[in-house]
Amino acid sequence: MNKEEGLLREILEEHANNPCGQDELCDISHSGEWKSRKTGNLCCVQIQVHNDQILRMVARVEGSALAKACASIMCSELEGKSIESARTTIQSVEKWIECGEAPEHWQGELVVYQSLVQFPERVDCATLCWSSLKNALEG
């Protein structure tokens, strides 16, 4: 394993063991969930939005450590961002996973998605939270 792979693994392990976005939210403005047909994993997302900015986000996952880590990374990277920025990030992740089309720049810890595409059997876990977020923003 090279240094980059080790770092990406460390990021995922840290988020799986100490997930962000687990607090209780009041005044929820958006919520959505997604259940994987493949694995049965479930993710529920709740968001507090004010003036088109994501103030707080919670993503609770019933599933694998990878699904929990990816949900934690999503929460930590999108809090404070605009709804439009969240939609753009969802599209970037989808394009990378589905088409291999990488964004110009992965923001922060979303860099882990660079390596996750190499494991097609884990894509379902890696995208669970993003499907939930997409439902929350569309609903």
Q: How far is CA 138 from CA 49, 57, 121, in A?
A: 14, 16, 27
Range of the domain at 29: 3-138
Query: Average of pLDDT values for 89-110?
Result: 84
CATH number, domain with residue 109: 3.90.1010.10
Give residue 1's pLDDT.
57
Mean pLDDT (the chain, rounded): 88
Range from 18-32, 51-65, 66-80, 93-107 carrying the lowest mean pLDDT: 93-107
For a pLDDT cut of 70, what percent of the chain falls above it?
96
Residue 117 identity? V
Q: What is the pLDDT of residue 73?
A: 94
Report, as an integer, the average pLDDT of 81-106. Answer: 87
- The count of structural domains within the chain is 1
